[in-house]
Amino acid sequence: MYVKKSNHFMSNFENLNDINSFTHFSEIDTSDISNETLIKMLYKMILIRRAEEKISVNVENGVIKCPCHLAIGQEAIAVAAGLSMIDGDKAFGAHRSHAHFLALNENTYSLFCEVLGKEDGCSRGMGGSMHIIDQKNGFYGSVPIVGATIPIATGAGLSISLKREENLSISYFGDGACEEGVLHESLNLASVMNLPTIFICENNLFSSHLRIDQRQPDLYTSRFALAHKIESKVLDGNNITELYKFMKNQFISVRKSHKPFFIEALTYRWKGHVGFREDEDVGVKRSQDLSKWRDRDPILLLVNELIKESKLSKVELKKMENEILDKIDSDWDKALNAKFPDKSNLKNFVYS
């Protein structure tokens, strides 16, 4: 199995310099997933990838001014969680949340408008890349203060619990947020109050420019769940079929049990902490690691398997790619021509 039987009190950093020894890596396994769902997964991952590439290019050429933290390489986690959500589930994101948002609504026009500060943006151009929201589709907001939405998502769990609904809340955060005290307070609260909150740690090994071994004594952040008697699971963050199968079942169980759960998805971001640059982020060179992680591209892994199993032809893939590119180009052009907010909006939304 893919779960590392780690001694949580020993360091697991030997893997960091040799990703092929990551014991949680697993093979794509399409069994028990319908073709329709598999194609939907692929579509969503490619849509997110191309949307973020569009954003990346336009950060580089200066058209987009607001800070953009890109999740290229991490798409599988958001797509698997998004496909496992049902009506009434509530997800909260952080600074790197374009994927969380698009996984739920595929609304690239709304996201593009938002990063351009346009009135048609998901936050009416008031938030930019770091403050995106789509409550109708279950995305309750993202903020860039590290760890800040963790207690808020826990509170959404409290809402669901008080209303006795069969739903759950999701808190997306990264390995860096595990160094904030608020995570530990929130895990304790969720555990002691039996709140239906899924804590999803996207452990991409980096917080800004520092690798995890420079910040924590262990690779696995799920050790913190153990301290609060919350069940947890370490997953291959680049394997969408594994993520989806596990999340789908676990979400069903949490909606009924109203007990929190901690998922740690190990992955890697291809870009620097913020902006368009790839292997150079505040002086950090990661090109060697990156080339190995590119071989574990979550999209590539799924595509290879679907083609191998004849569930997708190369022609169909090309068609899907083209459709997505057309949508993105047309949404981007439309967003460029969209209106900026009225100047009165500065004061319109301070109070109700």
For another protein, the binding residue among 82, 93, 121, 272 (CB under 8 A) is 121
Write down the least CB distance from residue 140 to another protein, Å: 6
- The single residue among 189, 225, 230, 302 that binds another protein, judged by CB under 8 A, is 189
Residue with tokens 């963790």: 150
Based on CB atoms, which residue is closest to another protein, 141 or 298? Answer: 141
The CB-of-269 to another protein minimum distance in angstroms stands at 24
Closer to another protein by Cβ: residue 200 or 303 = 200
According to the binding rule CB under 8 A, does residue 351 interact with another protein?
yes
- CA atoms of 87 and 136, how far apart (whole Å): 9
9 binds another protein (CB under 8 A): no
Q: For the chain, how are helix, strand and coil distributed in percent, rounded to 5?
A: 50, 10, 40
**Distance in Å, CB of 137 to another protein, minimum:** 12
**Near another protein by CB under 8 A, which window of 30-38, 71-79, 149-157, 217-225?**
149-157
For 88, residues 6+ apart whose C-beta sits below 8 A from its C-beta are: 138, 160, 165, 166, 167
Told to check if 97 binds another protein by CB under 8 A, we report no
The phi and psi torsions of 294 (rounded to 5 degrees) equal -60, -30
What is the enclosing helix (H) or strand (E) of 43?
Answer: helix 35-60
User: Minimum Å distance from CB 97 to another protein?
Assistant: 13
Contact call for residue 151 and another protein (CB under 8 A) = yes
DSSP label at residue 296: T
What is the DSSP secondary-structure string of 261-292? EEEEEE---SS-SSSS-SSEETTEE-HHHHHH
The answer to whether residue 125 forms part of the interface with another protein (CB under 8 A) is yes
Q: Does 155 bind another protein (CB under 8 A)?
A: yes
Q: Which is nearer to another protein, 182 or 266 (CB)?
A: 182
247 SS3 class = helix
Separation of CA 167 from chain center: 20
Query: CA 215, CA 198: separation in Å to the nearest integer?
Result: 24
Q: Which of 82, 138, 141, 260 binds another protein (CB under 8 A)?
A: 141
Tokens describing residue 22? 């990551």
Task: Name the site residues for another protein (rule: CB under 8 A).
Answer: 90, 92, 121-127, 131, 133, 135, 140-141, 143, 145, 148, 150-160, 162-163, 169, 181-182, 185-186, 188-189, 192, 345, 348-352
